Amino acid sequence: MSKGLEILTALKKEIKGLKIVEKRGSTFMRFISWLPPFLFFRKRFMEGYITTIGTTIYWPDRPEDFDGDETIKCLLHESVHAADSANPFFELSYLFPQILAVLSVSALSAIWVGVWGLIGLGFLIFLAPWPAPYRVHWEARACAYESLFNYINYGYVGGDWIDNKIEDMFISWDYYKMSWRFNKTRKLLLKYCIKAQGVEKPELILPAKSEVLNIIRK
């Protein structure tokens, strides 16, 4: 059994209900891909993004053995999201503030209630790429698990790795510009990574428990 499959088996013991589903074969994901804003980059969403909802990880092409460092780090990253889904505020806070745009549906009542319906249109402003501090927090936690893998295998915190993560993820359009401040995000991510690598607070990087850590160390 590959190291990746060993890690997946251990994670399934620690995260109740954790499962991997091939994204392109999922009717639910195909439905999601036709909704805005995913509709505008549907092919990329289906083929280039791993998506975790609850304890289900939707993988574009489900790896057979989950082997290779990058694949393992993706698995560790997404497993943190799966574990965090147990927090009742995780999904709503992750989507904040863009989730507030759903209140614009009140505009549909404009025909009957006039100005109040039109006021509802104002919530469309939340569709803009405003900073998403909670999303930054949740993603930083997940990235810390990746950095733990780097630390155990290569012995470094990784300044360049952190900078690349911020540029490719936190301040990029891939995650809808969830952060506007590079230096502040770097400080937060570095703090999380250092805590993870020192296993100073294991709860910070759930589910980084002994069985998973021992497999990573192999």
Q: What is the DSSP string of 91-160?
A: HHHHHTTGGGGGGGGGGGGHHHHTHHHHHHGGGGGGGS----HHHHHHHHHHHHHHHHHHHHHH----HH
- In this structure, the answer to whether residues 156 and 119 fall within a common structural domain is no
Q: Do 115 and 74 belong together in one domain?
A: no
Query: Given a cut of 70, is residue 105 above it in pLDDT?
Result: no
Work out how many domains the chain is built from and give that number.
Answer: 2
Both 150 and 210 in one domain: the answer is yes
Both 80 and 117 in a single domain?
A: no
Average pLDDT, the chain: 84
Collapse the DSSP code of 63 into the 3-class scheme (helix H, G, I; strand E, B; otherwise coil) and give the result. Answer: coil
The parent domain of residue 62 ranges over 3-96+132-217
Q: Are 102 and 92 in a shared domain?
A: no
Same domain for 66 and 116? no
Percent of the chain residues past pLDDT 90, beyond the cut: 45
More confident of the two residues 214 and 23: 23
pLDDT one-digit tens code per residue, 161-210: 889 999 999 999 988 899 999 999 999 998 888 777 765 444 444 444 56
Residue 21 shares a structural domain with residue 39: yes
